[in-house]
Amino acid sequence: MNRFFALLAALVICAGGASSAIAGVNSFADRSDVVASFATVGAGISLESCLVGEAAPAPAAGLVKKITAANASVKNIESGFVQTKTLKASGKKIVSEGTLYFANDGRLSMKYSKPAGELLVVNGNKFHMNKGGKSSTFDTSKNQMMGSLAKTLTGCIKGCPQQVATDNGAEISEAETAEGYVVTLTAGAGAKRGYSKIVLVYRKSDCVLTKMTMEEVSGIATVYEMKGIKKNTSFPEDVFRVPGK
């Protein structure tokens, strides 16, 4: 069950240099500074080494099925986003922002305007991150953990939380609130690092993702809020270009 959350904690690696994440699963999972920077992404040795008490997820009920069905006709999404990371010890908030581009074939780009120049791109079997002046590109066909991480990120945006839960052995629950349709993915009680819970909020009018909250076992929380969402729009294909060396 913890595979899902250890994978997402991988993204957090980038802040200290994504290349160091390859050194081992422990350093990868123990550091949460990168997911906090990119909603949404490291490396690893094997998925099995990240698992703790994995269990089969409960099947989704009506709302999750509705979300998936509504998003089936969405070809692409362009949206501004604001990312807020709250540090538990000090209560300090670190705010970043930028523009997100997504295509329903699984391509994803997050271009940061604050801090300027930071970038995350998922395109085919390539996973690229530029954080703090350090750039790394991974081959997801050869790096199983990065491949699973890419599928988790794009699956949440695409409106397929049940598939994400199934792939990662996470428990899933749903609720309708004033904020929207809320889907919660939860790790087991034995989780000691990574993420304990991820909460996804989908807009009631069209079931598009508007908010994603990632809660770490350590108590740190990172929230991504989408602004000015455009569906089935046109934007340059080169937003998904993976920078060369």
Q: How confident is the model at residue 121 (pLDDT cuts 50, 70, 90)?
A: very high
Quick check: 32 pLDDT over 50?
no
Sign of CA dihedral 5, 185, 229, 222: negative
- pLDDT of 205-236, one tens digit each? 999 999 999 888 888 998 999 999 999 999 99
Dihedral angle of Cα 119, 122, 127, 129, to the nearest 10 degrees: 10
Domain borders along the chain are 3-240
CA triple 235-237-242, angle to 5 deg: 130
HSE (side-chain half, CA atoms, 13 Å) at 137: 11
pTM listed for this prediction:
0.77
Please state which CATH number belongs to domain 3-240.
Answer: 2.50.20.10
As a whole number of angstroms, the distance between CA 138 and CA 127 comes to 5
